[in-house]
Amino acid sequence: MNDPGRERSDVLEKLAQAAGLLEESLDVRLIPARGAMLAYAIRGARDSNGVAAVQGGIVPKQGKAYVAGPCAFGVEADIARIVLTAMRFDPQMRCAVTLRFSRNVLSVIENLLLECTSFDTAQEPPGISTMDWGVAYCCKEGVPDVCYDYGGKGKEGTIRLFGEKPIDVTNNIIMISNRIIHIEL
């Protein structure tokens, strides 16, 4: 695909489709306090203007997942940094989503045989963003399927799922959601 405009519209379309699937099937208990952030980058993205995200994320509304806003480029800096950092280690890993951390959810993820790595926010060097340092820490030997942290002082624990395309990430989330139906989080 050599047409940058077409690639950008393709990224937005695939991201919107994935967001729609998550709106139908995401277990709301997986949504972090600030919403589940979903993003997908164009090939070779260098900054947040090359990363599309669901503006406002996916949030709980009346007991169901709800897409808070449209998919657009340059709208969610935190998830964009997560994607851009992962792309530094593997340019094909252009999609990510954030979910609420729970040990029970982590157990489900591990049972799906997804590669998981973690970092401790207490070890974060001063002056560096958790998104940049933590994801880079987890990607030293390649981008895992999942990078998580337990949270810390004033920080909610977060699970970050990575994939090449939104459908890859979405399928994993749907499997996780289907397996936690009867689990207390």
115 phi-psi bin (left φ>0, alpha ψ -120 to 50, beta other): beta
pLDDT value at residue 124: 81
Strand partners, 61: 64
pLDDT value at residue 1: 52
Q: Which of 52, 76, 75, 56 is nearest to 65 (CA)?
A: 56
Measured in degrees and rounded to the nearest 5, phi and psi for residue 41 equal -105, 155
pLDDT value at residue 185: 64
pLDDT value at residue 45: 96
Strand partners, 72: 53
4-179 CATH: 3.40.225.10
168-179 tens-digit pLDDT: 999 999 999 999
Residue pair 181/27 in contact (Cβ under 8 Å)? The answer is: yes
Total residues found in the chain within this entry: 185
Q: Which residue positions in the chain have pLDDT lower than 70?
A: 1-2, 185
Q: Which of 180, 156, 172 is nearest to 35 (CA)?
A: 156
pLDDT value at residue 2: 65
What 3-state class would DSSP assign to 121? helix
pLDDT value at residue 39: 98
Residue pair 125/133 in contact (Cβ under 8 Å)? The answer is: yes
What 3-state class would DSSP assign to 160? strand
